[in-house]
Chain A
Amino acid sequence: MLEIADIVTSYGKIEALKGVSLSVAPGEITCLLGPNGAGKTTTMMTVAGLLKPRRGSITFEDRNITGRDPGHIVRSGIALVPENRLVFPDMSVHDNLRTGAYSRSDNEIEDDIDRMFERFPRLDERQLQHAGTLSGGEQQMLAVARALMARPKLLLMDEPSLGLAPMIVEEIFRIIRDLNAEGTSIFLVEQNVHQALKVAHHFYLLEQGRVTFGGSPGDLEEDEVIQRAYLGSAETT
């Protein structure tokens, strides 16, 4: 569904991605694991069109989307749940959802908003409240709902569990599984290896801008995943 081939992305002189290749299969949850600074978020940003790769190609459903602008990528069916949620704090929950549908021009947007409120009753109760007054967990749900408003075929999620209490993390992962069961493909960046391996069909390890492993959760023991994922970071620190 999504094919990333040998992309190189850099900030100034520093190459954050040094030729990353991976693929996301339709209907699956694919996880990207790795230490801080390995380039996980950079990968997400590059797929979402916020960073332009210097080399390599990104294909989505057999169409080349390399270096296209974010609006085009959202319209082609990829939506991002950004790291740290980034909801619009002084806009109502309802308006936040409308921004998620910005790339759409059909007239079913309000229906979809109603559907989001059915799925996330806690948001329904807070429809007219400003998003900035929601708790961290509620904001994360809003960020997910907002991304879903674009009717994506592929949902990119960047560290959805970051900074959330364990119980909320459980709930977020339950939502991820539900969404996937309904047919949305998910590409997930996580630092919570334990939870990520529980939901993933497929996972990759990213270390220092390179993919060092790709396989299914059964292929490696969880301890070994953690060891291998973080060994690289031990050398740089």
Chain B
Amino acid sequence: MALLDINGIGRRFGAVEALDGIDLRVEEGEVFGLIGPNGSGKTTLFNVLTGVYPPSAGEILLDGRPIGGVPPERIARMGLARTFQNLRLIPHMSAFENIWLAQHRRPGMGLRDILAVGGRKERARRDEVETLLERTGLATRRDAFAGDLPLPDQRRLEIARALVRQPRLLLLDEPAGGMTPMETQEMATLIRAVAAPGRTLIVIEHKMDLISDICDRLCVLDFGRKIAEGPPGRVLSDPEVLDIYLGREADDNSGDDSGDD
């Protein structure tokens, strides 16, 4: 059974059909890419998956359990975590605190853990945050306010915050958005490390080199509809995809429009 099973999802905003009958299956351990022009419904799909707003049609199964229309905090506790394209860190809290607060209501955490100010379990959880800071390269930024960090560090911090929830499915919304090619490569390294233990990821990106580098499979959205799905090599050479997404000139510069090297 697929970890995530999306059947005929639709979402309408007034007259705009932001998502229109999307079918997707993401297998356990897969890194799945989601690409498409701006306004094609990628972030809307993330918002529907995380419960920010309910789908107006269709069904979503996470590990066989329906999550369409379930409130976001319940979905979060079912093992789904995400990052945000526009970054939603708490600017006047330190990097450490931003990660630490996200441990809330992980499976097995109850009222006593919420009120705990010390103790062995709490110390272990704090150590875990330190480890994550280390792994995401933020150890020296531990006490800096999140709002003071440069953009690449903020994106890393968002990933660390999502990881501390030990998610079964992690959604990354433009993890390399606004980054230079060098920073993008470092981000690709981080994402590969995150995916290494068999974690399932869905990644939205405009940077084709990053997508083809990290994804096992990907799907292309256009005007809320799925127009292609498959391994990166095949999808990125699909003539229809090239036409609507990569632009007509794409064939003569092999799709490197996003300023890669």
Contacts and interface: CB of A to CB of B under 8 A. Distances in A.
Contacts, number: 86
A194 B38 contact: no
Contacts of B182: 35, 230-231, 233-234, 237
Task: Please classify how large the interface on chain A is, using the bins under 10, 10 to 19, 20 to 34, 35 or more.
Answer: 20 to 34
Q: What 9 A-B pairs are tightest by C-beta distance, nearest first?
A: A165-B37, A167-B247, A166-B257, A136-B38, A230-B182, A192-B259, A35-B180, A170-B247, A135-B39
9 contacts: A136-B38, A163-B38, A163-B177, A163-B206, A165-B36, A165-B40, A170-B249, A227-B261, A233-B182
A137 interface: yes
A36 B151 contact: yes
B125 interface: no
A195 B247 CA distance: 13
A92 to B, nearest CB: 17
Interface in A31-51: 35-37
B206 A194 contact: no
Contacts of A168: 37-38
Contact of A191 (B38, B186, B256, B259): B259
Contacts of B248: 167, 170
A220 to B, nearest CB: 13
Interface string A137-149: 1000000000000
Contacts of B258: 166, 192
A166 B246 contact: yes
A162 interface: yes
A135 B261 CA distance: 29
Task: Please classify how large the interface on chain B is, using the bins under 10, 10 to 19, 20 to 34, 35 or more.
Answer: 20 to 34
Interface of B: 36-40, 150-153, 177-183, 186, 206, 244-250, 253, 255-261
Contacts of B250: 166
Interface in A111-137: 135-137
Contacts of A35: 180, 182-183
Interface in A151-198: 162-170, 191-195
Contacts of B249: 170
Interface string A220-237: 000100110111011011
B178 to A, nearest CB: 6
Contacts of B177: 163
A136 B43 CA distance: 14
Given A36-B152, A37-B151, A230-B181, 18 more contacts: A35-B182, A36-B151, A36-B178, A36-B180, A37-B150, A136-B38, A136-B39, A163-B38, A165-B245, A166-B206, A166-B258, A169-B247, A191-B178, A227-B261, A233-B180, A233-B183, A234-B182, A237-B152
